[in-house]
């Protein structure tokens, strides 16, 4: 099996498995308990908080543990919008945000907030000057650091600079970026930042929301004073410990791993071009994550390709899945004005730690064969 779907999830690192096993077996207490066993659990949580803070260059007390990206996006967008409500009831999100941010914006719209959508250019970039068009009363803007489908890195620092000049706060969904490129909340200028453990070798169900000091915030989950009153609920100790270990590893390995993956991806794209000369790589002109290739194969529908590659033991991703699991044309590609016939023929390849020269060669060859087979079987038009 060749796994080229690391943007969906990554294998858990062995060190993480070990740390979590020790935690599950050896730290039974509630970190909020006053007794010694409780204090041991608390120590594990706080060690993880420091590890996570280090990954994104935040202060430990700015880190709020969550159940992952979706919760982080909800808590961040809604919690900030609520806290900023005295200044206005408008928020803006980019058109290519993850579903979780769109979902959080729907929650706000449900209670009367106005939600504006920042457009995206054909290269997958959110133009910073789009902020200039936002109406008065806008308090918060959400732009992701790296798009999950195309890997395109957004000009976040410039967006934050313009936002702050207008008195807007900035939420950055860095779920796909963390562990793959340097993420420095200070340099980016984000007021709120979201990461998720399973995208960089940690467990599913553990993530963090960074709330910068001074950034207004109201808790979404209430009823107890966990996480400094920013997120009620007994901590997922094992998950948090795993997240911390993964964050430490990712921070240590990221620079070298990014260089390795970039070389590998360039090799992969070259081989793909050779196998399918008319392919279209989305976001090719923009800076991208080193591990991601999103390409359309004209005349070969992505759901056919996905199944054909799966049958050859190669796991990739196609567009966005709807509730039924069927593959639909990606809203991100739509926002980039990719024509529909290309959008329904797109695959996302996302490499990771185990990816090798041999794997990219094998996948490129298999993609070529699958594209030829699908075109032959469906008359090239995509049935």
Partner 1 sequence: MSGGLRVLVAMSGGVDSGVAAALLAEQGHDVTGVTLRLWCHGHVPAAPRACCTLEAIEQARAVARRMGFPHFVVEAEEVFRARVLQPFLDDYAAGRTPYPCALCNQHLKFGDLLARMRTLGADRLATGHYARIEPRAGGAPALLRALDAAKDQSYALALTPRAALPHLVFPLGALTKAEVRAHGRRLGLEPWDRPESQDLCFVPDGDYAGFIAKQPGGTRGTTPGPFVDRDGRRLGTHRGIIHYTVGQRRGVGLTAAEPLYVLAVDAARNAVVVGPRAALEAPGLVTARIDWLADPPPAAGAGAVVKIRYNHAGAPATLHPRAGGACEARFAAPQAAVTPGQLAVFYDGERVLGGAAIERALLSDEAAVPDEAATRGDAVRRDDTAARGAAATRDEAAGPDAATRDEAAARDDRATRGAAAPAGDHAPGHASAGAPAA
- Active-site residues, by number, are 322
The answer to whether the beta carbons of residues 215 and 192 sit under 8 Å apart is yes
Regarding 312 and contact with partner 1 (CB under 8 A), the answer is yes
* 279's tokens: 């392919």
Binding to partner 1 by residue 310, rule CB under 8 A?
yes
| Partners of 295 in the β-ladder | 281, 347
Counting every residue, how long is the chain? 383
Tell me: does residue 325 bind partner 1 (CB under 8 A): yes
Please say which residue, 218 or 303, places its beta carbon nearer to partner 1: 303
Interface stretch with partner 1, choices 45-53, 148-156, 161-169, 372-380 (CB under 8 A): 372-380
Q: Which stretch binds partner 1 (CB under 8 A): 206-214, 259-267, 269-277, 302-310?
A: 302-310
117 binds partner 1 (CB under 8 A): no
345 touches partner 1 (CB under 8 A): no
* Element spanning 381, H or E: none
12-23 as b/e: b if 16+ CB within 10 A: bbeebeebbeeb
CB of 372 to partner 1, least distance (A): 10
Q: Which residues pair with 195 in a beta bridge?
A: 208
Determine how many CB atoms are found less than 10 A away from the CB of residue 38: 16
> What one-character DSSP code corresponds to residue 183?
-
323 forms part of the interface with partner 1 (CB under 8 A): yes
Task: Note every long-range contact of 269-277, with CB atoms under 8 Å and residues 24 or more positions apart, other chains counting.
Answer: 269/293, 269/295, 271/360, 271/361, 271/364, 271/365, 272/364, 272/367, 272/368, 274/364, 275/364, 275/365, 275/367, 275/368, 275/371, 276/367, 276/368, 276/371
Residue from the set 241, 306, 335, 367 that interacts with partner 1 by CB under 8 A: 306
Q: What value, to the nearest 5°, has the Cα angle with vertex 238 and ends 250 and 253?
A: 10
43, 133, 187, 311: which one binds partner 1 (CB under 8 A): 311
**Which of residues 61 and 310 has its CB atom nearest to partner 1 in the complex?**
310
Strand partners, 321: 327
For position 304 contacting partner 1 by CB under 8 A, the verdict is yes
Q: Please report whether residue 354 would count as binding partner 1 according to CB under 8 A.
A: no
Of the two residues 302 and 355, which places its CB atom closer to partner 1 in the complex? Answer: 302
Size of the site for partner 1 (CB under 8 A): 23
* Residue 303 binds partner 1 (CB under 8 A): yes
Cβ closer to partner 1: 80 or 96?
Answer: 96
**214: phi > 0 → left, psi -120 to 50 → alpha, else beta; which?**
left
- Out of 15, 123, 218, 328, the residue judged to bind partner 1 by CB under 8 A: 328
Footprint on residues 93-112 left by partner 1 (CB under 8 A): none
Task: State the nearest-atom distance from the C-beta of 377 to partner 1, in Å.
Answer: 4
Which parts of 145-191 are beta strand (E)?
A: 169-173
The residue within the footprint of partner 1, chosen from 43, 187, 354, 377 (CB under 8 A), is 377
Residue 133 binds partner 1, judged by CB under 8 A: no
Given the rule CB under 8 A, which of 139-147, 158-166, 199-207, 323-331 is the region that contacts partner 1?
323-331
Determine which residue in the list 9, 30, 32, 378 makes contact with partner 1, applying CB under 8 A: 378
Comparing CB distances to partner 1, the nearer of 285 and 340 is: 340
Site for partner 1 contains 160 (CB under 8 A): no
Q: Kindly provide the b/e burial profile for residues 70-79, where b requires at least 16 CB atoms within 10 angstroms of the residue's own CB.
A: bbbbbbbbbb
Taking CB under 8 A as the rule, does residue 308 contact partner 1? Answer: yes
Describe the chain by its helix, strand, coil percentages, rounded to 5: 45, 15, 40
Instruction: Note the residues at the interface with partner 1 (CB under 8 A).
Output: 303-308, 310-312, 322-328, 370, 373-374, 376-378, 383
């Amino acid at each position: 099996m060749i796994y080229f779907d690391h943007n969906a999830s990554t294998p858990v690192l062995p060190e993480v498995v070990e740390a979590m096993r020790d935690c599950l077996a050896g730290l039974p207490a509630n970190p909020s308990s006053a007794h010694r066993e409780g204090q041991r659990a608390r120590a594990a949580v706080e060690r993880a908080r420091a590890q996570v803070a280090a990954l994104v260059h935040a202060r430990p007390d700015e880190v709020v543990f969550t159940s992952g990206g979706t919760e982080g996006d909800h808590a961040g967008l809604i919690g900030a919008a609520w806290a900023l409500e005295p200044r206005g009831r408008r928020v803006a999100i980019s058109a290519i945000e993850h579903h979780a941010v769109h979902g959080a914006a729907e929650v706000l719209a449900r209670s009367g907030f106005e939600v504006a959508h920042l457009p995206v250019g054909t290269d997958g970039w959110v133009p910073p000057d789009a902020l200039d068009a936002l109406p008065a009363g806008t308090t918060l803007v959400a732009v992701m650091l790296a798009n999950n489908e195309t890997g395109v890195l957004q000009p976040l620092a410039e967006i934050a600079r313009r936002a702050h000049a207008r008195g807007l706060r900035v939420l950055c969904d860095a779920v796909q970026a963390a562990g793959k490129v340097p993420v420095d909340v200070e340099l980016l200028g984000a007021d709120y930042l979201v990461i998720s453990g399973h995208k960089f070798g940690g467990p599913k169900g553990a993530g963090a929301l960074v709330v910068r000091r001074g950034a207004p915030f109201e808790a979404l989950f209430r009823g107890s004073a966990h996480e400094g009153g920013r997120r009620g609920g007994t901590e997922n100790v094992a998950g948090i410990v795993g997240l911390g270990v993964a964050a430490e590893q990712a921070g240590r390995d990221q620079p070298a791993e990014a260089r390795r993956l970039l070389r590998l991806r360039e090799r992969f794209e070259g081989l793909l071009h050779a196998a399918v000369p008319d392919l279209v790589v989305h976001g090719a002109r923009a800076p991208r994550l080193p591990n991601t290739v999103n390409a359309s194969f004209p005349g070969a529908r992505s759901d056919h390709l996905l199944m054909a590659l799966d049958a050859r033991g190669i796991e990739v991703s196609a567009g966005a899945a709807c509730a039924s699991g069927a593959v639909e044309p990606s809203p991100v590609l739509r926002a980039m004005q990719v024509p529909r016939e290309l959008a329904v023929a797109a695959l996302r390849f996302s490499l990771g730690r185990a990816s090798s020269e041999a794997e990219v060669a094998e996948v490129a060859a298999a993609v070529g064969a699958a594209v030829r087979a699908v075109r032959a079987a469906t008359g090239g038009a995509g049935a």
